[in-house]
Homo-oligomer: A and B are copies of this chain.
């Protein structure tokens, strides 16, 4: 397929997209990104993604006007014939190419790269649930910034794959933070628990949607930390993310979660979520 990507103002075939290896995204991971999901050509919670992107840009001191992005991504989806499909748009903004100096150079032009991808139906996984592993959360202390400084996430997710698991739940100081690219939510006695929003977790947009569904359906949504041991005592576990949507977790390491099938609260949230998208 002749895939078209967006790079610095141009729409061009993927194999022709080229950047300088002096780009600070390549040299320093000096950039931020977002992934938006489109359902039948409509972006889901686009404004939330732009809001988070602006926060990430601001946190790393990168000035970039985001107001035109919706328009560009709409064109990109059409160019890839994905406007009527379930698709994702990935986009990344880095500080741009320049001399290798650790501080932020002035008069440097940001690089923007975006591509689309068709999202396979995860119906089977969403219905059956997945296994996860746990690992110490070795990431930095600004996980609220959605940066491309993702080596730890790839290393930890790779461990999950090596162990036949679909995600890796991260533990910092004995407490569950999130997973390598999704939020972690747990259910006990009908109440939903998740890590509070602070510097240790990404403010997940699907997490936010789950919170809204809980609040409008009289389900307690409790933003408190809980320990690794409690993972094994929860009635239900799930992951939430743009890619994962609301993914039941039925096994942590060698231990079965709850009854080993997606629980009633998880299924209720999934159902409400799909009515929104």
Contact = CB atoms under 8 A, between A and B. Distances in A.
A148 B29 contact: yes
A102 B153 contact: yes
Given A61-B158, A154-B103, A141 B138 contact: yes
| Residues of A contacting B: mostly | mixed
A104 B141 CA distance: 24
Contact of A150 (B61, B141, B149): B149
Contacts of A103: 154, 157-158, 160-161
Interface string A166-182: 00000000000000110
A92 B27 contact: yes
Interface in A205-264: none
A100 B103 CA distance: 28
A20 interface: yes
A138 B103 CA distance: 16
Interface string A2-29: 0001010000001001111111111111
A153 B5 CA distance: 30
Given A20-B18, A140-B138, A158-B102, A60 B151 contact: yes
Contact of A180 (B5, B31, B102, B151): B102
Contact of A23 (B26, B60, B180): B26
Q: Which of A14, A90, A148, A180 has the most CB of B within 10 A?
A: A148
A71 B64 CA distance: 42
A18 B25 CA distance: 13
A155 B60 contact: yes
A136 interface: yes
Nearest to A158: B103
A138 B155 CA distance: 19
B147 A136 contact: no
Given A141-B136, A148-B28, A149-B29, A102 B154 contact: yes
B28 A26 contact: no
Interface in A12-60: 14, 17-31, 60
Nearest to A29: B29
Minimum-distance CB pairs A-B, first 10: A29-B29, A18-B18, A102-B157, A149-B151, A138-B141, A103-B161, A21-B113, A103-B158, A28-B150, A149-B149
Given A102-B158, A139-B140, 14 more contacts: A18-B20, A19-B20, A19-B26, A21-B111, A24-B154, A25-B26, A26-B113, A29-B150, A60-B151, A102-B180, A102-B181, A136-B141, A138-B141, A142-B152
